[in-house]
Amino acid sequence: MADASVTAHLRSLYRKFIDGSHILHHHRVLDAYGHLSFRHPLKPDVFVMSRSIAPALISSLDDLVEYRVSDAEPVSPNPLKKGFAERHIHSEIYKQHKHINAVVHSHSSAVIPYTITGVPLRACYHMAGFLGTEGVPVYNISQLYGRDDTHDMLVRNEDLGAPLASLFEDGNVVALMRGHGFTAVAESIESAVFRAIYTQKNAAIQSATMGMLAAATSIGDLTQEEEDIGVWYLSEEEARATTALTEWSVQRPWMLWVKEVEASELYVNSADCVHE
């Protein structure tokens, strides 16, 4: 790849990263907390995150930090660029799964109920087939703390991050985190952002459906057959087909979402230079 092409490709990824962070905030998947990362395309043993800053306020390459996949430490330490405590969520996923190139970690309140009950989060509409039909796996950090770990629910080291990363096997792309939130992965920034947004939407739809079903059942407004069906989730075949459909069409919402954040004065993206 010629130098000019390399520079253009990197600039595109940096811009996508900043746009993606803004989009996730715009959709309330992230607030002051949570983060997006991506694997460096030319240095696969390196990943990129922002410094410890609210996602909506990321604005330039000066806000970005490169980290080693091996230990989640900065490639070029800078005391002025404090990092996120939970970098090991990202580093351990990139370490275990070479095909994953982007990670989102969210504290979505719509998803939290599915992390603290026995109610499984399942694909219940066609935009979230990637969630599957068996229930999204739940990471329970309480079973993993070491003797010296602070019990603050944060994934602060390799020993806590590796078990979370192991949940992304067999095509699984989302993992819930008990009392904490969820993590979504993909092969691109656009797809990771898409999956995070529609994980939150699916959770809201499923919760509303369960509430409606409970209310209708309590007043005898359902037939016995309808009560037996309960929530009508996607079948395995439907989940596979709708996942393929959304993967094919992910650029459509992405282009819209970029325009939405560009139209807001809150979000600034000046990724007009490149770190080599």
Q: Which residues are catalytic?
A: 86
- Using left for φ > 0, alpha for ψ between -120 and 50, and beta otherwise, residue 230 falls in left
Residue 188's nearest CA partner among 29, 9, 8 is: 9
Q: Cβ(209)–Cβ(226) under 8 Å?
A: no
> How many angstroms separate the CA atoms of 32 and 41, rounded?
27
As given in the structure block, the two tokens for residue 194 are 């898409």
As given in the structure block, the two tokens for residue 20 are 């993606």
> How many angstroms separate the CA atoms of 197 and 188, rounded?
14
> How many angstroms separate the CA atoms of 67 and 46, rounded?
5
Contacts of 272 (CB under 8 A, 6+ apart): 11
CA dihedral (254, 88, 32, 58) positive or negative: negative
Q: At how many degrees (to 10) do helices 189-218 and 251-262 cross? A: 100
> How many angstroms separate the CA atoms of 185 and 90, rounded?
9
Contacts of 143 (CB under 8 A, 6+ apart): none
Percent helix / strand / coil, the chain, rounded to 5: 45, 10, 45
